[in-house]
Amino acid sequence: MSRPKRDGLLYFSFDTDFFYADKRIKRLHSRYGSDGMILYIYLLTEIYRNGYYIRWDEESVEDAMDDLRLTEGFIEQVMTFLVGRSLLTRSILADSDTIITSPGIQKRYQEAVKSLRRDIFVDPDIWLLSKEDTADYIKFTTNENKSCKNPDKTGINESKSCKNDRNKNKTKENKINKNNMCKANALALFEELWALYPCKKGKGQVSDARKLKLLEIGFDEMSRAVNRYLSELKKDDWRRPQNGSTFFNSGYVDYLDANYVPDKKPEKQQGQFNQFPQRNYDFQALENELLKEQI
């Protein structure tokens, strides 16, 4: 009896310079310590154990809490960091399932299953690698709609209209999945940026479209914009930070890399103490006048 086929891996490659080569990993360790690193490695093992992705739900969170002795809030913070830095990708499928994976994870998975010397079938709605980056032995599964089949005398051929309907539905689903993936990443990035900003007012007034714009800018540049703005506020004690909604809707623009110009205080010229013109007085004449008045 042959061994049943399995999508998951028994082991996966782990670089010896894991802690040093990627700045994102160093920042993860700096911000969240050993617990953050362990959670990331835990997620990698769960993903590769099942294949190239996992479904992330309340039960998954509870399992991580029990296995690692971490709080739900801490897990969500680290997950937001990982998604915001593109170490993980969190997408939502049409059936509302949340999927955790990443292009890097899928590339390592593809390399690992190469030794199996057989075709590996993946879900096109979850597979993130481009056609150029996908190996020949990676095949996409297709969901056949049985009610759409129109058999001829041999019971094999399908009608062209049914095929066209499936192609249209597949294209539509892929578009929805990509939009959901971008939206999930934008939400995760916004949560991380919101945590950096001191005046947390008007969070609900930042639209999804604006969050997608922040995603295009990226965490690194937006975090620099926040720090620049806060540094400018410290120069004047009377200034208070804008509401978070105001800053993330439009206030950040002047503090982006291409727009930011640090304030420069005008230098004083030598010998200039004030802006008023100096007058020459005859003090001896004034003294004589005062003496006459006293007499």
Instruction: Convert the pLDDT of each residue in 77-118 to its tens digit.
Output: 999 899 988 899 988 877 778 899 999 999 999 999 988 888
pTM for the whole structure:
0.53
Amino acid 12: pLDDT: 85
Residue 35 has pLDDT above 60, yes or no: yes
Query: For 97-207, where are the alpha helices, taking DSSP H only?
Result: 103-112, 160-196
Residue 24 has pLDDT above 80, yes or no: yes
The larger pLDDT score, comparing residue 268 to residue 5, is at 5
Q: For residue 208, what pLDDT band results from cuts at 50, 70 and 90?
A: confident
Amino acid 290: pLDDT: 64
Amino acid 295: pLDDT: 58
Residue 216: CB atoms within 10 A of its CB come to 9
Helix (H, G, I), strand (E, B) or coil at 295: coil
What is the distance between the alpha carbons of residues 23 and 77, in angstroms, rounded to a whole number? Answer: 18
Q: In the chain, what are the domain boundaries?
A: 1-141, 170-260
The residues, any chain, with a CB within 8 Å of residue 291's CB and separated by 6 or more, are: none
Q: What dotted CATH number matches 1-141?
A: 1.10.10.10
Residue 156 has pLDDT above 50, yes or no: no
Ranked by mean pLDDT, the top range of 8-17, 39-48, 276-285 is 39-48
Compute the mean pLDDT over every residue in the chain, rounded to the nearest whole number.
79
